[in-house]
Amino acid sequence: MMEYKEIRSHIKSGDILLCSGNSFFSKMIQKFTRSKWSHVAFIIRLDIIDRVMVLESVESIGVRCVPLSAYFNNYNGSRMPYSGELMIARHRNMRECHIEKLSQHAVDLLGHQYDSAEIARITSRLATAFIKKGECALPETDDAYICSEYVYECFKSIGIIINHSCGFVAPKDFAEDENVIKVF
């Protein structure tokens, strides 16, 4: 595993952070989606203040922004690194000209609630699709987001669409998208 100090200068705004957690909720997501990835976020560099920030939606808080260094050194104030595997990836179509609009959209959503009810809606859409043997589209967005919905909506604001599973977008969809390449 590479140290944060080794990779920090190579991380770009718009990079994707994928996490493979060890909590009960993370394990449920991994099992449900048949993927090792249970969380997705993205990164914005704030070079003017020498910070690399993670924009994400988490269960207990909602949409937030935290330093990437916290994942490596002090996750959620625990004085411990994130308990699980991390991967930084990059979408091939992400361009420097996208970063301002991506950042604006992401910041406009800061403070929105985590969408706990979305888990029940996802289960319902999957059951319906299974019964009807058909495709299902993403539902209209509301003002609350699970992690993957938040990143999906932010990327969509700049014209980058992530291929998604039946009726919902999951962390695995970012990892498996043909335009997303592993960086670290």
Paired sense of beta strands 51-58 and 39-46, if any: antiparallel
Paired sense of beta strands 62-67 and 51-58, if any: antiparallel
With contact defined as beta carbons under 8 Å apart, do 17 and 57 qualify?
Answer: no
Render pLDDT for 24-54 as a digit per residue (tens, 0 to 9). 888 888 888 889 999 999 999 999 999 999 9
Output the CA–CA distances (angstroms, integers) from residue 9 to 3, 6, 12, 47, 61, in the order listed.
12, 7, 8, 10, 29
- Assigned fold of 4-182: endopeptidase fold (from Nostoc punctiforme) (3.90.1720)
With contact defined as beta carbons under 8 Å apart, do 57 and 145 qualify?
Answer: yes
Render pLDDT for 71-111 as a digit per residue (tens, 0 to 9). 999 999 999 999 999 999 999 999 999 999 999 999 999 99
Task: Tell me the angle at which helices 147-156 and 99-108 cross, rounded to the nearest 10 degrees.
Answer: 140
Q: Report the distance separating Cα 54 and Cα 68, nearest Å.
A: 5
pLDDT > 70: what percent of the chain?
84
Q: For 66-72, which contacts have Cβ atoms below 8 Å and span 24 or more sequence positions?
A: 68/4, 68/8, 68/11, 68/17, 68/43, 69/4, 69/8, 71/17, 71/19, 72/3, 72/4
* Boundaries of every domain in the chain: 4-182
With contact defined as beta carbons under 8 Å apart, do 174 and 40 qualify?
Answer: yes
Whether the pLDDT of residue 113 is over 60: the answer is yes
Q: Report the distance separating Cα 158 and Cα 131, nearest Å.
A: 35
Q: Report the distance separating Cα 34 and Cα 173, nearest Å.
A: 11
- Return the higher-pLDDT residue of 120 and 113: 113
Whether the pLDDT of residue 116 is over 80: the answer is no
